[in-house]
Structures are given as C-alpha cells and as structure tokens.
Structure 1
C-alpha cells in the first residue's frame, strides 16, 4: 500500500469533483462508429462494435462507469447495445 503525499491527495480530491457531462442525451439519434485499428480495442470489443458499425439508434439510458467513462444504452430496431461515448458519432 502506497502512502499519498499532500499534492496527490489534493489532486485526487479535485479530480473527484470534476463533473462529467455526457455528449448525448436521452432520445438523441446516434450512429455506431466502425471499429478502427487506431481505436486500441481488445478483440471482444472490436467484434462487438463491428456487429453494430454504421447502425443508427436512439439513446435510452446514460450511465457513468466507476472509471468515469460515459456509457450509453442504445435502442436499435430489434436490439439494444451498450457503448462508450467514443464509440458513437
């Protein structure tokens, strides 16, 4: 277990208070981006995005992960997908 110095404690506290504002809102129409080699995805994420690439849907739920990433639940015609903000356009 590492001990934090005062600067690190202040930095953690200031980061915790930063408000995260989602780019999209409920009912916004979004398109899933085509996965790209430069996206630095693991294999599972790559194939998940590939299955939805280019599809349009509507945001039905928004959440923030513990790692402070914005996550969207998107309704398509016959299915629902879950995506990070950077996966949508």
Structure 2
C-alpha cells in the first residue's frame, strides 16, 4: 500500500553563527517555508570540519533534496518553484 501522506519538505541551510548573509537568508526563507509547510534545518558549518571544507566561504548555502537552490542570497523564485513542484 502506498503512503499517501508525504513527509513535509525539508530545506537545509548551511550557515555560520556570525554570518549576516546567513541571518538574512534565514529571515527571508522562513515565511516562504511556512507557506509550503516546509521545515528548515540550520547547520553550522563550523561545527563539522567536513562542512567547513565543503562550504567554508560559500555560506549561506540552501539545499533541498540534494540540490543547491541558493548561495549568498535567497533565490526566492527557485525555492518557490522547487517547493511547488514537490507539492504538486
């Protein structure tokens, strides 16, 4: 039997605690995520050496289902399109 209740979409924001662009992206992202019933997991790259190596000066980076949607600034239309496709 197929599960008709799909899990809520989950976005991952790679961030840093002292990063003003990270704070801005999260602030802009939260209402959009709410509108689609998505959750946002914020991961501090400084907490994991592997994440520092991968993302270091690239943060903030927003990822959804393994696909990078935004870097530095929120690409609202791209995020909306990705979430809308999932909702359809």
TM-score band w.r.t. shorter chain: under 0.3
| Bigger-Rg structure (1/2) | 1
**Structure with greater helix share of residues:** 2
Alignment TM-score, normalising by the size of structure 1: 0.26
Instruction: Give the TM-score normalised by the residue count of structure 2.
Output: 0.26
